[in-house]
Amino acid sequence: MNEAVVLTSERILEVTEDVLRRYGLAKATVVDVARALDVSHGSVYRHFPSKASLREAVAKRWLERVSKPLAQIAAEPGPAPVKLERWLRELFDAKHKRVCEDPEMFATYLTLAREACSVVKAHKQDLIAQVEGIIAEGVAQGAFDVADPKIAAAAIFDATRSFHHPAHADEWADCTCSTRVDAVLTLLLRGLAAR
Amino acid sequence: MNEAVVLTSERILEVTEDVLRRYGLAKATVVDVARALDVSHGSVYRHFPSKASLREAVAKRWLERVSKPLAQIAAEPGPAPVKLERWLRELFDAKHKRVCEDPEMFATYLTLAREACSVVKAHKQDLIAQVEGIIAEGVAQGAFDVADPKIAAAAIFDATRSFHHPAHADEWADCTCSTRVDAVLTLLLRGLAAR
DNA sequence: GCGCTGACAGATTTCAATATCTGTCAGCAC
DNA sequence: GTGCTGACAGATATTGAAATCTGTCAGCGC
């Protein structure tokens, strides 16, 4: 009758994150995860066909925690330029906070993401689609002058890589970073604006 | 009388590049370099105080080969917007060509650059200063409307990272890359333009 | 004297033996 | 039947001894 002992994929993922936090990415094994769940490691393989797929699922959960709050901003009403700026700043803040508050876990997730590149690609497509939505809205409002919102969205994503791509995380602590964000956002919003 | 046997820092650097190409970064040793030069390894230490400083010097040479042709473009006369676009495209082309033509050597130089981060910082400052010059010129010509050319130059550099930072090199082969470069350049030039 | 050599100490890397892990599956318990 | 276990084979990681490398310097040859 004890519901807690039911082994679900969700529970495995939660415990796997704990194990990764405790042991680190390099040392965490499927056996460790099984031990933390108090089951045999064979049981874990009943829910995930391989260690790689388990890690991929952890990466996916992590990326979803980034994209959900952004989707909410994208769905709100209001002027597109303000919304785009808010959306981008939220994206940067989410990333910067994660790396500042728990750098080790950030490094762990980063490596997981490198391995699960198809998951990352889907995440990127999701984010770009959200930006595309905001830009199309801006065009409809007469605020933006853009030939192709899809291409413009990809350009916005490319042009802000310095502030959201983990390869540049070591610069995010830099005190000039906020000024640099402001400068790029100003430039990009001017570039999109109807005149 | 044979000038070829004179041991100069320059000659050591040339031979070191050969050795790196032949053996790879991980396996190339100071002893290998000395053997290629037909001297004892102690002689190499007469010109470079450590293996790290030798590697740093190799990285510096490589970066200078990137920045010199750009400085030439920056020094030419002409309308700033055209020049800025040419300068940026030359920067991207230089990087993209290097990674396409000799990916192994690119990886080698990339690792060297990571180690010699002070050299890379100076290189970055150099490039940003060149952009600043072009932007200031554009302001003087009435083509650009920019509050602070220094900040704008840093913003242009940040906003084009996707196309010149080696962390994104794996995307440079992508067939959509040229479209993406066009989209970002259009956006940025519109953002700088006086209206 | 000047520049190079080569032996050396300590640090680092390699390699092979050993231990641990991944993924499977026959069989047990319910 | 359903879901879990634990022994197993092959793959991967760890370890410590041996080999190699880095950086120094006394001394040799010109």
- The pLDDT tens digits for A156-169 are 999 999 999 999 99
Q: Contact at 8 Å (CB) between A57 and A9? A: yes
Domain count, chain B: 2
Identify the band that residue A2 occupies on the pLDDT scale cut at 50, 70 and 90.
very low
- A64 and A22 in a common domain: no
Chain B residues in contact with A195 by the CB 8 A cut-off are 195
Q: Do A167 and B162 touch (CB under 8 A)?
A: no
- A64 and A39 in a common domain: no
Chain A residues in contact with B165 by the CB 8 A cut-off are 161, 167-168
Provide mean pLDDT across the span A39-47.
Answer: 94
Tokens of B51: 């293996």
CA distance B150 to chain A (A): 11
pLDDT at B4 over 50: no
Highest mean pLDDT (candidates A98-102, B10-14, B87-91, B106-110): B87-91
Chain A residues in contact with B189 by the CB 8 A cut-off are 191
pLDDT at A195 over 90: no
How far apart (Å, rounded) are the C-alpha atoms in residues B82 and A105?
45
Tokens of B42: 């102690």
pLDDT, residue B111, reads: 93
- B74 and B114 in a common domain: yes
pLDDT digits (tens, 9 = 90+) for B149-168: 999 999 999 999 999 999 99
Nearest CB to B183 within list A152, A168, A190: A152
Nearest CB to A187 within list B167, B168, B188: B188
Domain stop point among B11, B29, B47: B47
pLDDT at A3 over 50: no
Provide mean pLDDT across the span B30-46.
Answer: 93
Q: Interface of chain A against chain B, CB under 8 Å?
A: 151-152, 154-156, 158-163, 165, 167-168, 179-180, 183-184, 186-192, 195
Nearest partner of B190 among A152, A60, A88, judged by Cα: A152
Identify the band that residue B7 occupies on the pLDDT scale cut at 50, 70 and 90.
confident
Provide mean pLDDT across the span B29-36.
Answer: 94
- B90 and B7 in a common domain: no
- B108 and B15 in a common domain: no
Range of the domain at B91: 52-192
Question: Is B116 buried (19+), middle (13-18) or exposed (0-12) by CB count in 10 A?
Answer: buried
Chain A residues in contact with B184 by the CB 8 A cut-off are 155, 158-159
Identify the band that residue B2 occupies on the pLDDT scale cut at 50, 70 and 90.
very low
CATH number for position B102: 1.10.357.10
- A129 and A171 in a common domain: yes
- A126 and A102 in a common domain: yes
Identify the band that residue B147 occupies on the pLDDT scale cut at 50, 70 and 90.
very high
Provide mean pLDDT across the span B89-106.
Answer: 95
ipTM score here? Answer: 0.89
pLDDT, residue A5, reads: 63
Measured CA angle at B157 (ends B152, B161), to 5 deg: 145
Identify the band that residue A9 occupies on the pLDDT scale cut at 50, 70 and 90.
confident
DSSP calls for B1-37: --GGG---HHHHHHHHHHHHHHH-TTT--HHHHHHHH
- In order of A5, A72, A89, B132, the CA distances from A92 in angstroms are 39, 16, 5, 26
Q: Does residue B29 lie within 7 Å of nucleic acid chain C, judged by its CB?
A: no
Better-predicted residue by pLDDT, B152 or A195: B152
Distance A25 CA to C21 C1' (A): 14
pLDDT, residue A161, reads: 98
How far apart (Å, rounded) are the C-alpha atoms in residues B105 and B173?
17
Tokens of A185: 């956002």
- B62 and B25 in a common domain: no
Identify the band that residue B6 occupies on the pLDDT scale cut at 50, 70 and 90.
confident
Residue B136, amino acid: A
Rounded mean pLDDT of chain B?
A: 94
Nearest partner of A167 among B188, B105, B162, judged by Cα: B162
pLDDT at A170 over 50: yes
How far apart (Å, rounded) are the C-alpha atoms in residues A181 and A188?
11
Q: Does residue B43 lie within 7 Å of nucleic acid chain C, judged by its CB?
A: yes
- B59 and B39 in a common domain: no
Q: Contact at 8 Å (CB) between B184 and B160? A: yes
How far apart (Å, rounded) are the C-alpha atoms in residues A106 and B165?
21
Identify the band that residue B1 occupies on the pLDDT scale cut at 50, 70 and 90.
very low
Q: Looking at residue B176, what DSSP letter applies?
A: T
- A35 and A131 in a common domain: no
Provide mean pLDDT across the span B110-116.
Answer: 92
- B84 and B43 in a common domain: no
- A143 and A103 in a common domain: yes
pLDDT at B3 over 80: no
% of chain B at pLDDT higher than 90: 92
Q: Nearest-CA residue of chain B relative to A191?
A: B191
A120-124, B1-5, B64-68, B93-97: least confidently modelled range: B1-5
What is the residue whose two structure tokens read 């310095």?
A162
How far apart (Å, rounded) are the C-alpha atoms in residues A77 and A185?
21
